[in-house]
Amino acid sequence: FKAESLLSVEGVDVLYGKAQALRGVSIHVHEGEFVSVVGLNGAGKTTLFNAVSNLVPHAGTIRFGGQDLATLSPAAIARAGIVQVPETRELFGDLSVLENLDLGGHHLPKAEAAKEREKLYDLFPILKAREGQSARTLSGGEQQMLTIARALMMRPRLLILDEPTLSLAPVILEQLSKALERLRQTTPITVLLGEQNVTFALPHADRVYVLEQAKIVWEGPPDRFATEMGAAYL
């Protein structure tokens, strides 16, 4: 008996004109799992996540909680519980940290949103310290944490993180890594992470996929990655 996956991507193809960005890609994410998709620049990670959110036309089948997503709009998919944190941090620069967070929690009753916010301040203490500051004045790393925290305010069933480490300094990377670790210890959450930074992606992952030139070329637990894929990636 194999429980049905929360997210199931089956044989997905994406074409940009003549260029094939995904070729028969299948991945599965079970409830509570942390799954990393590792791939170099241009391998197709962002395209895969955009297919999941129905932001790019694709062939194949994508199911979430048993429901076929083919006919759902990106907004409906977000309401169904898939919250994507894009590579480009889409914060409201003129709004404060607190206001950005509350936008993420706008669907919650006020008291619930406040409780959720406090939980996120525990997870990312720097955001509490910057609460009244406008988002545009935050450092790159702080903005990344705010983007993730705002996504968590939506209480996603599946959180998709697209290269959160992009252009972050090592010390910030470390903070982000610790926050993800604490998140996993304190909250039952399902995460799909796309990364080219393998040293960041592996420690958090229950399972790893490797995406190379539009295809999944490897799948396995992180401890097998080093011996089987390490030569190319570590």
* Interacting residue ranges for ligand ATP, rule: CB under 6 A: 16, 19, 21, 39, 41-47, 87, 163
CB of 14 to ligand ATP, least distance (A): 8
Which among 27, 77, 33, 39 is positioned nearest to 56, based on CA atoms? 77
CB of 213 to ligand ATP, least distance (A): 9
Closer Cβ to ligand ATP, 153 or 160, answer by number = 160
Closer Cβ to ligand ATP, 19 or 111, answer by number = 19
Closer Cβ to ligand ATP, 45 or 150, answer by number = 45
H helices, E strands: number in the chain: 9, 10
Please classify residue 186 by burial: count the beta carbons closer than 10 Å to its beta carbon, then call 0-12 exposed, 13-18 middle and 19+ buried: exposed
Any idea what the Cα angle at residue 4 is, between residues 208 and 56, rounded to 5°? 65
CB of 198 to ligand ATP, least distance (A): 13
CB of 205 to ligand ATP, least distance (A): 17
Contact residues for 99 (Cβ-Cβ < 8 A; gap 6+): 92
Closer Cβ to ligand ATP, 42 or 230, answer by number = 42
Please classify residue 155 by burial: count the beta carbons closer than 10 Å to its beta carbon, then call 0-12 exposed, 13-18 middle and 19+ buried: middle
